A and B are shown apart, each in its own frame.
Chain A
Amino acid sequence: MAQYVGQNVKRKEDYRLLTGNGRFVGDIRLDNMAEAAILRSSYGHALIKSIDTSKAKDCEGVIDVITAADLEGKVQPFTEFVEFTLPPNLEKDIKPIIKKNPEPMLAKDRVTFVGQAIAIVIAENRYAAEDAIGLIKIEFEPLPVVTDPYESVKAESTVIHQDLQNNIQSHFEVSVGDVEKAFNQADHVIRARIKTPRVSGNPLETRGVVAEYEERTQQLQVWSSTQVPYMVRSYLSKLVGLVENNIRVVAPDVGGGFGPKCAVYPEEIVIPYLSTKYKRPIKWIEDRLEHMQSTRHSRDQVHDVEVAVKNDGTILGLKDHFLLDNGAHNSFALCCAYNSAAHLRGMYRIPNYDITGQIVLTNKTPNVPYRGAGRPEAVFVMDRLIYMIAEKLNMDPVDVSFKNFITPEEMPYDTDLFYRDGANMVLENGDYPGSLKQAMKIVGYEQFREQQKEAREKGKYLGIGFSSYIEGTGIGPHEGAVVRLDSSGHILAFVGSSPHGQSHETTLAQICADEFGVSPDQVTVKAGDTSLLPYGVGTFASRGAVTAGSAVHVASKKLKEKLLAIAGEMLEVAASDLELQNGKVYPKAMPTRFVTLQEIALAAKPGPRCKVPEGMEPGASATHYFVPPTVTFSSGFHTAVVEVDKDTGFVEILRYIVVHDCGRVLNPMIVDGQIQGGVAQGIGGALYEEIIYDENGQLVTGTYMDYLLPTAMEVPVVEMGHQEFLSPRNPMGIKGVGEGGAIGPPAAIANAVCDALKPMKIEINTLPVSPNKLRSLIEEAELQEMH
């Protein structure tokens, strides 16, 4: 009955967004609303000797100035997010060290990174609040700053948090097979240090919070630009000591998330607390300078990796030791680090595998997951290795891939380790060699090699690069849906996973519409509001379609069954003999005798006219919490074709191709949009974006002049090829797609650049491939050639 699932249904979200009627947090205006501005640390590491707020408090339009002292005993610090703690079997298996790393709401006597919040000014408007910020006097005593993770792990390094003893916040080891034996049998061992630097997700809408407290009912209403409203509610309740049910957190229209809005931030706790204290609505909208400093960054991993190979290109084993520079705090347990470990081998059959990960603290902004969450780093390592193996053995990298792919015949393939959710990590299905073949066909691999040769003779440097990924998507623990028929016969679907561009209102309506045989226009999807359902998780980790989609699907089925039962009573026909189509229920044998959804809705009401069968509760509503058995594995193959201007070091992407599998496609237009957008971010990481700190812990890339997001001039149209291997792990066979596009580009583009300059044998083991860096590599290569 799939009429709408699989179709390019136009988005229901678009009308308000295209006419200026969206409602983002910054757009909310309430009577008597005050505005906040935040004084942030200008030091990477320092003691706070004194804070003088007296002048600021006297400033025109200022209501109050709040420092850590004002929060003492009122607001608890963050420790770790329990949502990310390890399941017991995984904990037992890898026995990690994870030290608790509490983060204060406002820095009290010490700051540990530039951008850390120290004081909050509440004023009549933001202009006045910023005036007062300039009048707060703080006496700092600078401390030694550590920004290099390799310095940070040394015994003599400054310790950022004394109670942790050193700067190694987490440590874990994963081992599969017998790596030593594999290395002993190898014909070649290749070693490399491969770095994925720190970047920032940078949604175009910064963070922001509006809070309003109604004393009469003790209700606290919070609007936040977040990916996880339920998590905000939970920590607000816990850390401020409020009755959870008295808090309503709404994520209204949210202007992009990508991971950084998946954390709960100090402002999301303190601003609501202050609105209860001052009995006034308070608004805080982060500005872009604050965003660059204080919204969490991501990536920043360095891998020391060794791979053991045979002469024919077979990979026997892989050893890796990596550091994740997490900045000054880590509240996410092993999230990204373990993702890297679990995904590093990707599509490849590598039976012997040792990996050690360490999460190291430095005087930088804390890191959180960002689109890909540990996988782009892993793919950059693995697919650079494939190219290095090819170089070493004088093989085509494509042949190295084919040699080592897990084949469709080996599916389901047990990777011999646990996934982050505690389940055995088993790749359920897919055709990896097939995806590479498809990519080669789209790009015209043989012709390209010819073209490349000709171009090189004319002094033009063209190159092709591949990368591949698998991705565990749709992680649990659950996501719920309430599907309801209202008295007007309209269908409502409420979900706990809140969107920020993913098109829930459209795709979930498609799922629902198919169950009820109506148009998606007759379905309204609501999300991003903790008053809709008692439990919810959020939108991150490519989980929306898998978890919320499955929940809506099952809840719709449940409701449909109930509606048929009610209709059966109304029509005095057995429910099993009824059909629901076009908003009407009728006996299969006699379609002209029907009841409408509206009539059923009225018959579902309690009372004397109720037609709900005995044993069922009155009402036309059904709830389902979908609890996935484990993640589903999406996969993809990326291909970049580039031209390198050898004289300037500039790289132009001529073509970009993605072949991917995300299981059942709900709406191809939206899936393609996710891929194209993900690739754009991946291109950012490959060629343009890098968060840079100087040795004093000062953020060098603090504006959009320095932190370079790709524009329309830098992003090509992605050509796409699709595979559709339905996952057996949810009823519709969906796999997640949100992150995939961002995972492959750094490796594919770096490989393509290396391929373009193959005669020079340059190695790109760090990102972004900036013209300056690439020119330096070319110059080195030219010098070597001369000698």
Chain B
Amino acid sequence: MKETLVKVTINGKEVAKEIESRWLLSDFLRDNLGLTGTHVGCEHGVCGACTVLINGEPVRSCLMLAVQADGCQVETVESLARADGSFNHIQQAFANNHALQCGFCTPGFLMSLKSFMENNPTLPTDEEIREAISGNLCRCTGYSNIIKAVKEAYALNC
């Protein structure tokens, strides 16, 4: 099988790997780079657990080939905590508000929200927050604590 060279910057580090062109970005991150924080929930682009940022924008890494990420900046959940290991504002707000139970979907929410908060710097309405996370499924929390956490994350970020 012919392999293609992929060069990406992942969480600030440049990586170059030969990879089968059919490999999904999600598998590339998890299996080739060991970044297992990005979870795979449905592999048809509905659940959002695999959400990562490509050049700052949220995408479903199960709906992208690794070769398509060539030349891109990729950010995963592993990049969120501060250098000393402490939480960033979104993580902190999630912990404060019990916004996760099993935690499987959580990395996808965090990545979607990172981009959302950067693009919407002032506190949005509940309805806007709901829409922002509507591409991420959570089966445990019933979302209300996630919405609370987003609001707190705005406050923490001030």
Contacts and interface: CB of A to CB of B under 8 A. Distances in A.
Decide if A and B are genuine partners. Answer: yes
The interface centre, meaning the residue of A22, A23, A502 with most chain B CB atoms within 10 A of its CB, is A22
B130 A205 contact: no
B124 interface: no
A502 B141 CA distance: 11
A20 B110 CA distance: 10
A27 B30 contact: yes
Contacts of A18: 77, 80-81, 87, 91, 94-95, 100, 103, 106, 110
Contact of A712 (B1, B96, B147): B147
A709 B142 contact: no
B156 to A, nearest CB: 14
Interface in A683-727: 703-705, 709, 711-713, 715-718
Contacts of A23: 36
A501 B144 contact: no
B94 A205 contact: no
Interface in B128-146: 129-131, 133-146
Contact of A10 (B43, B76, B95, B130): B95
Contacts of A573: none
Given A127-B22, A715-B144, A255 B98 contact: no
B46 interface: yes
Contact of A256 (B94, B130, B133, B140): B140
Interface in A484-515: 500-503
Interface string A117-128: 000000001110
Contacts of B158: none
A20 B38 contact: yes
A15 B41 CA distance: 21
B103 A26 contact: no
A20 B95 contact: no
A26 B37 contact: no
B104 A19 contact: no
Given A14-B103, A24-B39, A712-B130, A704 B143 contact: no
A777 to B, nearest CB: 28
Contacts, number: 181
B39 A26 contact: yes
B42 interface: yes
A243 B100 CA distance: 38
Contacts of A500: 102
Contact of A202 (B100, B135, B139): B139
Contacts of A204: 39, 41, 47, 49, 102, 104-105, 137-140
A403 interface: no
A670 B95 CA distance: 12
B101 interface: yes
Interface string B73-94: 0001110110001010001001
A709 B139 contact: yes
B95 A14 contact: yes
B107 interface: yes
A14 B137 contact: no
Nearest to A14: B95
A126 to B, nearest CB: 8
A11 B95 contact: yes
A287 B46 CA distance: 13
B94 A14 contact: yes
A255 B37 contact: no
B36 A27 contact: yes
A476 interface: no
Contacts of A741: 142
Interface stretch (A71-79, A95-103, A673-681): A673-681
A133 interface: no
B35 interface: yes
A255 B145 contact: no
Interface in A271-310: 287-288
A715 B145 CA distance: 12
Given A20-B77, A679-B142, A26 B40 contact: yes
B34 interface: yes
B20 interface: yes
A253 B103 contact: yes
Contacts of A681: 139, 142
Given A204-B138, A677-B140, A29 B34 contact: yes
A258 B101 contact: no
Nearest to A678: B142
Contacts of A125: 31
Contacts of A205: 39, 41, 102, 104
Contacts of B144: 676, 715-718
B129 to A, nearest CB: 8
A737 to B, nearest CB: 13
A94 interface: no
Nearest to B143: A712
Nearest to B129: A712
B104 A20 contact: no
Contact of B42 (A11, A126, A677, A704): A704
A287 B134 CA distance: 22
Interface string A559-581: 00000000000000000000000
A713 B144 CA distance: 11
Interface size class of B (residues with CB under 8 A): 35 or more
A669 interface: yes
Interface centre among B35, B136, B144 (most CB of A within 10 A): B144
A613 interface: no
Contacts of A715: 142-144
B91 A501 contact: no
Given A501-B140, A711-B134, A712-B146, A670 B40 contact: no
A80 interface: no
A705 B78 CA distance: 29
A680 to B, nearest CB: 3
A255 B91 contact: no
Contacts of B49: 204
Contact of A11 (B35, B98, B142): B98
A679 B142 CA distance: 7
Nearest to A206: B41
A678 B142 CA distance: 7
Given A13-B103, A20-B107, A673-B145, A713 B40 contact: no
A17 interface: yes
Given A20-B78, A288-B43, A501-B101, A256 B139 contact: yes
A254 interface: yes
B13 interface: no
The CB with the most chain B CB atoms within 10 A, among A203, A680, A712, A716, is that of A712
Interface in B36-67: 36-44, 46-47, 49
A7 B116 CA distance: 32
Contacts of B105: 204, 255
A21 interface: yes
A669 B131 CA distance: 25
A20 B77 CA distance: 6
Interface string A246-280: 00000001111010000000000000000000000
A503 B35 CA distance: 25
Interface in A46-74: 60
A203 B145 contact: no
Nearest to B130: A712
A681 to B, nearest CB: 7
A3 to B, nearest CB: 20
A711 B109 CA distance: 12
A502 B137 CA distance: 18
Nearest to B23: A127
A419 to B, nearest CB: 28
Nearest to B44: A703
Q: What are the 4 A-B residue pairs with the smallest beta carbon separation, nearest first? A: A20-B37, A255-B104, A17-B103, A680-B142
14 contacts: A18-B100, A20-B38, A26-B40, A27-B36, A204-B102, A204-B138, A255-B102, A673-B98, A680-B139, A703-B42, A704-B46, A711-B137, A711-B143, A712-B143
Given A125-B31, A205-B104, 10 more contacts: A20-B36, A20-B77, A20-B80, A21-B37, A24-B36, A29-B31, A204-B47, A704-B137, A709-B137, A717-B147
